[in-house]
Chain A
Amino acid sequence: MKKEDFFEVLGELDDDIVKGAKTTTKRKMNWKVWGTIAACFAIVYGISTILFPISRDMVVSVYAQDTNEEITATGAVLMTGTIKDNGEMKGHPLMFYLSGQDIATVRFSCKNQQINFMDWTEKRDEYGNAQNFTVTYGEDESEYYYLTIDWIPNAIIRELTDNETCTIATLPEEMRNDIIVMEITFENGKTTTKAITISLLDDGTFFANFDDYKINEADTFVDRLDSEAIPRDILYAQGAIPENITPDTPPMVCINNKLYQQSKEKLSYTKMKNGFIYLGKIESDITDDQITTDGVPKENFQANHPIVGSEIYQYNDDVVIKIDGKYCLYEIIDDRKIQDTQNRQIEHVGVIPYWGISLSVENAKPAGLTLVCTQSEKLPTGELQMGSFYKLIVWNNDNNTWEDVPYLIKDIAWTEETYIIPLNDTMKWEVRWEILYGELSAGTYRIMKNISDFRTTGDYDTAECWAEFEIK
Chain B
Amino acid sequence: MDDNGIIQLYWDRNDQAIKATSDKYGRYCKTIAKNILGNEEDAEECVNDTYLNAWNAMPTHWPEQLVTFLGKITRNLSFNKYKYNHAEKRGCGEITLVLDELADCVSDIDNVEQIIDCQELKKAINSFVRNLSTEKRNIFVRRYWYADSVSEIARDYKILPGTVSKTLERTRKQLKVYLIERGFEL
Interface residues of A (CB under 8 A from B): 1-22, 65, 118, 120-122, 145-146, 148, 236, 370, 422, 424-426, 428, 430
Contact = CB atoms under 8 A, between A and B. Distances in A.
Interface string B143-186: 01110000110110000111100100010000000000000001
A2 B108 contact: yes
B29 to A, nearest CB: 12
Contacts of B75: 11
B125 A9 contact: yes
A18 B79 contact: no
18 contacts: A1-B116, A3-B102, A4-B83, A6-B106, A7-B95, A7-B98, A7-B99, A8-B79, A9-B122, A10-B125, A10-B144, A12-B125, A16-B65, A19-B67, A20-B141, A120-B154, A120-B155, A428-B170
Contacts of B170: 426, 428
B48 interface: no
A126 to B, nearest CB: 11
A145 B156 CA distance: 11
A470 B99 CA distance: 35
Contacts of B154: 120
A413 B63 CA distance: 56
A21 B110 CA distance: 31
A428 B95 CA distance: 26
B130 interface: yes
B85 interface: no
A236 B159 CA distance: 11
Contact of A8 (B76, B103, B111, B152): B76
Given A7-B98, A120-B152, A236-B160, A13 B79 contact: no
A17 B142 CA distance: 10
A3 B67 contact: no
A1 B118 contact: no
B60 interface: no
Contacts of B160: 236
Contact of B152 (A3, A11, A17, A146): A146
Nearest to A370: B166
Given A1-B186, A7-B144, A14 B152 contact: no
Contacts, number: 120
A98 B137 CA distance: 29
Contact of B76 (A11, A15, A118, A145): A11
B83 to A, nearest CB: 6
Contacts of B142: 21-22
A21 B99 contact: no
B133 A18 contact: no
Contacts of B28: 22
Contacts of B108: 1-3
Nearest to A424: B133
A192 B110 CA distance: 57
B107 A7 contact: no
Nearest to B135: A422
A377 to B, nearest CB: 16
A15 B64 contact: yes
A282 to B, nearest CB: 44
Interface string B58-71: 00000011011101
B141 A18 contact: yes
Interface in B81-139: 83, 95, 98-100, 102-103, 105-111, 114, 116, 118, 121-122, 125-126, 129-130, 133-134, 136-138
Nearest to A429: B163
A422 B136 CA distance: 12
Contact of B106 (A1, A15, A120): A1
A13 B126 contact: yes
B111 A1 contact: yes
A150 to B, nearest CB: 9
A9 B152 CA distance: 23
A21 B126 contact: no
Contacts of A13: 125-126, 129, 141, 145
A14 B138 CA distance: 13
B145 A10 contact: yes
B167 to A, nearest CB: 8
Contact of B79 (A7, A19, A118, A146): A7
Contact of B138 (A1, A5, A21, A425): A21
B133 A422 contact: yes
B107 to A, nearest CB: 7
B128 to A, nearest CB: 10
B141 A428 contact: no
Contact of A14 (B71, B79, B95, B126): B126
B171 to A, nearest CB: 11
Nearest to B167: A428
Interface in B36-73: 64-65, 67-69, 71-72
> Taking each of A21, A65, A122, A148, which has the highest tally of chain B beta carbons within 10 Å of its own beta carbon?
A21
A430 B159 CA distance: 13
Contacts of B186: 1, 6
A6 B142 CA distance: 16
Nearest to B185: A1
Contacts of B145: 10-11, 13, 18, 21
A178 B49 CA distance: 49
B102 A6 contact: yes
A120 B68 contact: no
A20 B146 CA distance: 12
A195 B141 CA distance: 37
Nearest to A428: B166
